[in-house]
Structure 1
Amino acid sequence: MILPINAERPTRILHITDCHLGAESGETLLGLNVEASFVDVLEHALVREESPDLILVTGDIAGHASHEAYQRFSYHVEKAFPNIPYVCVPGNHDTKDIMASAFPEAALPRLVELGDWLIVLLDSTIPNCEHGNLSEAELNFLQQTLAAHKEKHIIVCMHHQPVAVGCDWIDQYQVASADRFKALVAEAGNVQVVLWGHIHQAFESVLGDVRYMASPSTCIQFKPNSSDFALDRKMPGYRWFELTADGQLGTRVERINERNYPIDYSSNGY
């Protein structure tokens, strides 16, 4: 996919993740109406931000994969940001075949070219498993893509974390082939960012010259640096990117205004 850019300003990307939408409106996760919080996040971005050039979604769009959940996602995104393209990778709660039947083909590309930038979309899911892995085919695709686009500034996206984030209970689900992945990224020399979802919290670290990042969920938030499952009281949110042609990248995390969501903060899992 090649998207037009405005050369007179930075390219803007809205990153959202882990919506966990249900097959029916009003479904909840640990007491939170996930559709309501998703709409709150979109409305916050709509009011606060300039119009994005792309909406980037890193999985767990559905809490349990269904055609209806994906249709509801598309409805709300297209209502808030008409004519803005969105692209997705699957999460462990998603099903690729159902996503493909519910979304337009343009929403599921492998590559997105934005001027001097290239976004590479990888599938880290294993059917019926919580943990992630990049298969040999995915790693070969990444290696070939990086070799073919040495002139681009690159963002690599997936659902699962390729590095430990400090939460023991969720780090057991990180990408099993992370060592080879990180070696390929480091060798390329032009990967600026590795971006994922899954961990329901903001995260940033730097390995070599590469920035590794995750973003808040649009629903419940996991408490950082927790050994066991624990919820954070921070609000749902998103990440905003601005990319310049010379390879500069600005990013920030934004959260919606305080809400009195009836979340079960004492829960030990779901």
Structure 2
Amino acid sequence: MIVLAHVSDIHIDNEQRSVDRATQVFDYLHRLPGKLDAILVTGDLADHGLPEEYEKVAKLFSGSPALLHCPGNHDSRGPYREVLLGESASGEPINRVHRVGEAVFAMCDSSIPGRSDGFLADETLAWLESVLIDAADAPVFVCFHHPPVLLHIPFIDGIKQNGEDRLAALITRYPNVVAVLCGHAHTSAASTFAGLPLLVAPGVVSTVMLPWETDEIVDLTVPPAVAFHILDDNRRLTTHYRVISPGL
């Protein structure tokens, strides 16, 4: 059995508010008496893609075992590489593969520099196929920032991942793909993509409101939340959501 904590959209900037909300979530995860096999952060780690923001992110991530992350549309590939990965600055997509227990996590870069919507570049899809081939029969999670489906939230749907038919055609050829995990929407959501579970992590820095709830797009006062994904020995995936209120 593998237990994962999944958060997204921490948007660390020069304001203490973003740091406090992210710290609240990570402190909660670090205090859990049970073992987490990994923590996933699916994009928008920094708010403006500045080196000093990534320095704060690196401090926040320190002490977290098996912390996996990928860029979002607010991230900048150069500073991201330099500060978080210890690499030379480059504008190439940031794609990384990790193995946690028996499972493989393909952390894909769905960002388009200078734009808010998402797209998996051809080189990213080629890289993902190589990961799927190398995984053999191991269960694989495909992870990125932008949802590749409509969530029926007009603001988010306008900046979703495009070209998703290419991704669907790829992953349907590999039956060991367990689920697609993403962020970007600033609200927890569950759907399907290419016949697989599509699970969207709740946002940490803020919550996007549903159009039938209010005329406001974003609520800054809703407490942050986290998703817990459990992959059992029969490869059944179960997800729980937990709101992180002060004091937890």
TM-score, normalised relative to structure 2: 0.87
* Runs of 5+ unmatched residues, structure 1: 1-9, 27-32, 260-270
Deviation at 1:13, TM superposition (A): 1.8
CA deviations 1:41-100 (Å, max 9, x no partner) are: 12233344623222211111111111221121221232xxx2513121111110111011
Deviation at 1:109, TM superposition (A): 6.1
Rounded to whole Å, the distance in 2 between the matches of 1:147 and 1:54 is 23
Partner of 2:90: none
Partner of 1:240: 228
Q: Which moved more, 1:39-48 or 1:137-146?
A: 39-48
Give 1:172-211 correspondences, 5 Å limit.
172-207=158-193, 209-211=195-197
- Identity fraction in percent: 25
Q: Is the 8 A contact 2:37 2:100 kept in 1?
A: no
Partner of 1:101: 82
Rounded to whole Å, the distance in 2 between the matches of 1:60 and 1:68 is 15
Alignment-mate amino acid for residue 136 of structure 2: K
Deviation at 1:258, TM superposition (A): 6.2
Please provide the CA RMSD for this pair: 2.3
Rounded to whole Å, the distance in 1 between the matches of 2:125 and 2:168 is 10
Give the counterpart of 1:16 among 7, 12, 16: 7
Rounded to whole Å, the distance in 2 between the matches of 1:96 and 1:229 is 31
Q: Is the 8 A contact 1:66 1:98 kept in 2?
A: yes
**1:43 equivalent in alignment to 2:34:** no
* Shift in CA distance, 165/122, structure 1 to aligned 2, threshold 3 Å: same
Rounded to whole Å, the distance in 2 between the matches of 1:61 and 1:49 is 26
Q: Is the 8 A contact 1:37 1:219 kept in 2?
A: yes
Partner of 1:230: 217
Partner of 2:72: 91
CA deviations 1:185-227 (Å, max 9, x no partner) are: 2221221110111110001013464100111111110013569
Aligned length in residues: 239
Give the counterpart of 1:61 among 39, 45, 48: 45
* Shift in CA distance, 103/229, structure 1 to aligned 2, threshold 3 Å: same
CA deviations 1:83-124 (Å, max 9, x no partner) are: 513121111110111011111459x76111123211111111
Q: What secondary structure does 1:103 align onto?
A: helix
TM-score, normalised relative to structure 1: 0.80
* Shift in CA distance, 73/149, structure 1 to aligned 2, threshold 3 Å: same
* Shift in CA distance, 83/238, structure 1 to aligned 2, threshold 3 Å: closer
